[in-house]
């Protein structure tokens, strides 16, 4: 039998059924396609995942065991951003490598101000905003205010909401599940904040020393302070003069802890701790930096517990 004859024998309803099946398969395929999100930091990727769940596919550029200010992006990062629907970043000058990476990827939607770009500093009350413009030649790398704002869990709350709004805007079909996951994250945060109250009581009014000036947001949340740093200016390595000054400062102020993330060298801070009796406390700046900090809330939890335990430790 020739094809023409078979076609003539088949009822019109058959073709309609075939057409309907193809339509359903195609529309299901496009509906199931998750939104492709690339973030600069692992912490932002975790927050996107908390809100986006299986409706998003998330990757990050900066490995958490490296200083987020200075990252060498790989060719695979360029490719990821080229294909991304959404690029999420810290804004300000946190990622000194962000603009060259965006230029290399050439994704027109991912450039600042475009629909596929989300600056998480939006709506955050920034700390340490300089009253006069700074110049990078002066050595500073926090030119527009302190960019490490994600370490205040109240800012985590705002960032999760900002992410939810953006996902809803880009993918309205999944807005209900985005909102449901946001609510569940905020509820967990509320529970954690109740657990953290006794830790905040321990930390209240304490002064700590830090390697880099990256803790003012966690400090303002928890009630402690960091006024002096191993780096004489953010991004400038410790000098002998600075270390000599700090040795006296720690003794004078009876400072009990020197805090730093995993990726700064521990020789100078370790020596300073040994000479003064302060303790060196290694905590996390980003999700995944240590196994204990495997998500955003666990990271904040780990940091607060580590510092509080040092404050309570016997000399």
* Interacting residues with Zn ion (CB under 5 A): 214
Closest approach of Cβ 285 to Zn ion, in Å? 9
Two tokens, residue 89: 């970043």
Q: Find how far residue 208's CA is from the centre of its chain.
A: 23
- CB closer to Zn ion out of 80 and 142: 142
Please tell me the distance from the alpha carbon of residue 167 to that of residue 221, in angstroms, as a whole number. 28
Closest approach of Cβ 111 to Zn ion, in Å? 24
Two tokens, residue 227: 């006024």
Closest approach of Cβ 212 to Zn ion, in Å? 6
Cβ 153 vs Cβ 26: under 8 Å: no
Closest approach of Cβ 270 to Zn ion, in Å? 21
Closest approach of Cβ 142 to Zn ion, in Å? 6
Cβ 307 vs Cβ 201: under 8 Å: no
- CB closer to Zn ion out of 80 and 148: 148
DSSP state of 137: G
DSSP three-state, residue 288: coil
Closest approach of Cβ 187 to Zn ion, in Å? 31
- CB closer to Zn ion out of 86 and 210: 210
- CB closer to Zn ion out of 77 and 214: 214
- CB closer to Zn ion out of 92 and 290: 92
Cβ 98 vs Cβ 40: under 8 Å: yes
Two tokens, residue 83: 């294909």
- CB closer to Zn ion out of 111 and 144: 144
Please tell me the distance from the alpha carbon of residue 214 to that of residue 235, in angstroms, as a whole number. 11
Closest approach of Cβ 268 to Zn ion, in Å? 18
At 161, phi and psi to the nearest 5?
Answer: -65, -45
Please tell me the distance from the alpha carbon of residue 272 to that of residue 242, in angstroms, as a whole number. 11
Query: What is the SS3 assignment for 150-184?
Result: HHCHHHHHHHHHHHHHHHHHHCHHHHHHHHHHHHH
Closest approach of Cβ 93 to Zn ion, in Å? 9
The CA-to-CA distance between both ends of the chain, in Å, stands at 95
Number of neighbouring beta carbons within 10 Å of residue 96: 14
- CB closer to Zn ion out of 55 and 214: 214
At 249, phi and psi to the nearest 5?
Answer: -60, -45
- CB closer to Zn ion out of 143 and 175: 143
């Amino acid at each position: 039998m020739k094809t023409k004859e078979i076609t003539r024998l088949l009822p019109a309803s058959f073709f309609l059924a075939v057409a309907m099946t193809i339509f359903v398969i195609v529309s299901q395929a496009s509906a199931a396609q998750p939104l492709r999100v690339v973030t600069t930091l692992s912490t932002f990727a975790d927050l996107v995942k908390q809100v986006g769940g299986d409706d998003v596919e998330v990757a990050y550029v900066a490995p958490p065991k490296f200083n987020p200010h200075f990252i060498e992006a790989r060719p695979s990062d360029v490719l990821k951003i080229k294909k991304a629907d959404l690029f999420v970043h810290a804004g300000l000058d946190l990622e000194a490598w962000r603009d060259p990476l965006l230029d290399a990827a050439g994704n027109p939607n991912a450039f600042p101000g475009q629909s596929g770009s989300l600056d998480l500093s939006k709506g955050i009350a920034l700390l340490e905003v300089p009253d006069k413009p700074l110049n990078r030649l002066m050595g500073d790398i926090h030119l527009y205010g302190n960019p490490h704002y994600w370490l205040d869990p109240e800012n985590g709350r705002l960032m999760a909401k900002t992410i939810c709004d953006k996902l809803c805007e880009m993918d309205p079909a999944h807005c209900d599940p985005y909102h449901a996951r946001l609510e569940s994250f905020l509820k967990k945060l509320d529970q954690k904040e109740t657990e953290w109250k006794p830790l905040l009581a321990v930390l209240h009014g304490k002064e700590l020393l830090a390697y880099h000036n990256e803790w003012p947001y966690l400090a303002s949340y928890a009630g402690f302070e960091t006024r002096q740093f191993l780096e004489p200016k953010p991004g400038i390595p410790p000098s002998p003069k600075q270390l000599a000054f700090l040795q006296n400062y720690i003794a004078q102020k009876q400072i009990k802890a020197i805090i730093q993330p995993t990726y700064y060298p521990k020789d100078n801070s370790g020596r300073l701790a040994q000479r003064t009796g302060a303790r060196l406390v290694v905590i996390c700046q980003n999700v995944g930096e240590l196994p204990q900090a495997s998500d955003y809330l666990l990271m904040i939890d780990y940091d607060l517990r580590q510092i509080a335990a040092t404050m309570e430790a016997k000399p």
